[in-house]
Structure 1
Amino acid sequence: MDATVDTGRDREDRRETRIQAINREIILEAALDVFSVHGFRGSTLDQIAGRARMSKPNLLYYFRRKQDIYRGVLERILADWLAPLEAMDPAGDPIEELRRYITEKLRMSAERPAASRLFANEILAGAPVVSSFLETRLKSLVNEKAKVIRDWVSAGRLAPVDPYHLIFTIWATTQHYADFDLQIRAILGSQVDRPGFREQTAQAVLTIILNGVRRRD
């Protein structure tokens, strides 16, 4: 017989844990909106609490300092962004794997532009929070995927291309639509808000990049 008894208090503790997780997500989402507009220095705990629709003391129950919230936001952004690259399958078709990755990056830029802009600002500021992450986990992952691309090239499945610069090009192109949204709107005007613009953008970017790496017969 199992000696563990699921008491009412145990169930309450689990509910509290779920509530805490939900509240942390609410705070991080609110903080992303605030930090992406005002930057780290220009943002305040009062602004974040107001955006999260909770009291400042309640916010401080989950995060002791503004720095802790900022780090939490960046860690969540990086985890989300790395997932599509981590999913790149060495055994898959190279063009389809790259198509999936580029499409996902474009979707994330379109749906969460504030995350891209906040990360760009962190890099421009010298990466004070994420520098160690860039030099360890990110570098390791990019090295791993660069080897995958290099193996595809060696097997004749892709045209000769430098894997690192291919990855950098994908990053730069896809995140451009978030980081430079105002510039794009200044040039294209109302086209940006018309139905189908995102699909047209994806098709254009995929054609340019994938045609550059397709195997030449």
Structure 2
Amino acid sequence: MARAAETRRRTRIQEEKEGRILSSALDIFAQNGFAGATLDEIAAGAGMSKPNLIYYFPGKEQIYRAVLGRTLETWLEPLMALDPAGEPLAEIRGYIRRKLEMSRARPQESRLFAGEILAGAPLIRDVLEGELKDLVDEKVAVIRAWIADGKLAPHDPYHLIFALWATTQHYADFDTQVQAVLGRETDESARYAGAERFMEEVILRGLRPE
């Protein structure tokens, strides 16, 4: 019994330390990129020594892969939630809102992912061509069924998804530019409320069947 309790405590401690490492790594990779980040910086951000960090992750690439994996899993949740049984325009409206909220609340994940894609996705191409493609294909089939049933105007579902990714993630990846153009006095809530209104008015209007 005592040994089992010790194992559980050790597991909780491991999970907590791994979480601290990945959170620190996210900040540093998002700011400096993979090449510019160092294990010393990640360890310092996690509040531990470099040898302790290496006990959990043997190298920078393993940490980077883990951060990207966690990021991609989180980033795909809004698309996973698109319900085939739901009302199409309401489902897409909900997707827009969830994606914008993720851009607002978790901009570093978006920037990290964008940086990896711009670099040619050397470490996650297999995921893009596997897990990501499978999910997108699944949701494209859902959208095509809605179009076939006359519930949405006919559009290419792949490009619809690409457009939603581009517009929602713009507010995370290019926040400095958005603030510069709108004026820094425009607060975050107003920026995202305006983005949401625009997307719902323009995108959803274009998807309504005639």
Assess same fold via TM > 0.5.
yes
In the TM superposition, residue 12 of structure 1 has moved relative to its aligned partner by 1.7
User: Against the structure 1 CA distance between its residues 121 and 133, is the aligned structure 2 distance closer, same or farther, given a 3 Å change threshold?
Assistant: same
2:95 is aligned with 1:93: no
Aligned to 2:99: 105
Q: Deviations over 1:194-216 (max 9, x none)?
A: 65432232222222211111122
Q: Which runs of 5+ in 1 are unaligned?
A: 1-6
SS at 2:86's partner residue? coil
Aligned to 1:197: 191
Note the 1:1-217 alignment, pairs <5 A: 7-193=1-187, 195-216=189-210
| Percent of matched pairs sharing the same residue | 55
**Within 2, Cα distance between the matches of 1:194 and 1:183?**
13
Q: Structure 2 length normalisation: TM-score?
A: 0.96
Let me know the Cα RMSD of the aligned residues: 1.2
Work out the number of aligned pairs and report it: 210
Q: Structure 1 length normalisation: TM-score?
A: 0.93
In the TM superposition, residue 190 of structure 1 has moved relative to its aligned partner by 2.4
**Within 1, Cα distance between the matches of 2:130 and 2:41?**
33
SS at 2:183's partner residue? helix
- Rg larger in structure: 1
In the TM superposition, residue 50 of structure 1 has moved relative to its aligned partner by 0.9
SS at 1:25's partner residue? helix
SS at 2:123's partner residue? coil
Deviation >4 Å, runs of 4+:
none
Q: Which runs of 5+ in 2 are unaligned?
A: none
